[in-house]
Amino acid sequence: MNLKRVVVTGLGSLTPIGNTVPDYWNALLTGVSGANFITHFDAQLMKTRFACEVKGFDILPFMDRKESHKYDLYTQYGVVASEEAIKDSGLDLSTEDKDRIGVIWASGIGGISSFEAGCFDDAQRGGAPRFSPFFCIQMISDICAGCISIRHGLRGPNYGTVSACASSANAIVDAFNLIRLNKASAFVVGGSEAAVSRCGIGGFNAMQALSTRNDSPETASRPFDKDRDGFVMGEGAGALVLEEYEHAMARGARIYAEVKGCGLTADAYHITAPHPDGIGARKAMELALEEGNIPLSEIDHINTHGTSTPLGDISEPKAIEALFGTHAKEISINSTKSMTGHLLGAAGAVEAIATVLAINNDIVPPTINHFTDDPAIPSLDFTFGKAKKRSVNFAMSNTFGFGGHNVSIAFGKFVK
């Protein structure tokens, strides 16, 4: 079968360290932490009182107040990031065949804040339970994909993907495969999350998954550090426009990078913990390289899942070392979660953007908040402390989710 090539032509982001792609990228390069004390609700009685929140968000330039009340914050975040990506791509939707442009949008949790408000506030005010007519629309995790398609009249394949923290990476993979199979010419793809809420923070606290470093929020996300004590909740959205190569070339599009291959596996091990030897992560990376026809020795950079959890931060480097052998030490590895926190279902898209920009600019953002080496973690180049200028021709973005879901995506520098 003659599979189509797939390229990245548009980027959009809304993150705890920048509300546009240029601001996000500049903050990554300078090592800015997005963590601070929670403002979305009163968290004083929580074990964790901080998170990486989006700052200065305003939906009104994108929809009026009445319209915004129909949608949870996660959908609003997705609308804003997708608008930036479409504009950045230069697609003229007035001249495009909209039957050939789709939307695949992810969220690991969906409208959890709206669910809280509907169940704990609106429905418990005395008398018969009362719910907003928009309660279900606000809550369900597929609605952002529908909202984006309606706003732009995009009639191609349209749905949401859910695989916990791997959700938006799965969305990218689905779009990649559908374009390769000539089922569409382009996709708006990505994910959004807005889980800095009572249930979001409380639930992950109960699992002992979050950092409780309340005395120093800005240094709490410590991927690969000996004293890491859990991840820091993040929120926001990431969007990419993926496009069939010939379609992009015909309209003279700027191309950031090419999607070369992907690997999808399951640990089949534990509902939350990764396999201690990272066998699922290793296989996902191996499959992505095999599909992309990329030799192990050609990978320059890996944006790791790197959540700052005790177990995950050991298993992934083990997987990298096991797969790449001696070349593992030549790869510039990082965790941008050290700055953004963990955006859950949006993490894959936001980190794919960072990976694509690393290729496009030949620079690898740092991993911040490293204080003490962990002897249990293989000695690799984690790009601690400072961004690194280097040639980045091929790079990978790894994203793993509770339930044992593993996704690895390989990107390459665009060559005609």
- pLDDT, one tens digit per residue, over 180-231 is 999 999 999 999 999 999 999 999 999 999 999 999 999 999 999 999 999 9
Of 165, 247, 370, 405, the active-site residue reads: 165
Answer whether residue 124 shows pLDDT above 70.
Answer: no
Res 123 pLDDT > 60: no
Q: Are 86 and 200 found together in one domain?
A: yes
Would residue 370 show up in a list of annotated catalytic residues for this protein? no
Q: Above 70 in pLDDT, residue 121? A: no
Question: Residue 392 domain-assigned?
Answer: yes
The answer to whether residue 240 sits within a structural domain is yes
**105 and 219 share one domain:** yes
Question: In terms of domains, do 70 and 181 share one?
Answer: yes
Q: For position 252, what pLDDT does the model report?
A: 97
Catalytic choice (152, 247, 342, 370): 342
The residue from 40, 305, 370, 405 that is catalytic is 305
The domain total for the chain is: 2
For this structure, is 305 an active site residue? yes
* Sheet (strand 301-303) strand order: 158-161, 101-106, 186-193, 236-244, 6-14, 257-266, 405-412, 394-401, 301-303, 332-334
pLDDT of residue 1: 73
Is the same domain home to 243 and 355?
Answer: no
301 is catalytic: no
pLDDT tens-digit readout, 332-345: 999 999 999 999 99
Length, in residues, of the chain: 416
Residue tagged 């690991």 (tokens)? 108
Question: Do 282 and 359 belong to one domain?
Answer: yes
Could you tell me if 236 and 324 lie in one domain? no
Same domain flag for 301 and 355: yes
Domain endpoint, select from 211, 228, 250: 250
Q: What is the 3-state secondary structure (H, E, C) of 157-217?
A: CEEEECECECHHHHHHHHHHHHHHCCCCCEEEEEEEECCCCHHHHHHHHHCCCECCCCCCH
Compute and round to an integer the Cα radius of gyration of the chain: 20
- If pLDDT is split at 50, 70 and 90, which confidence band does 118 have? confident
pLDDT at 122 (0 to 100): 57
Domain boundary among 250, 276, 299: 250
Asked if the model's pLDDT at residue 353 lies above 80, the reply is: yes
Distance between CA atoms of 90 and 202, rounded to whole angstroms?
Answer: 42
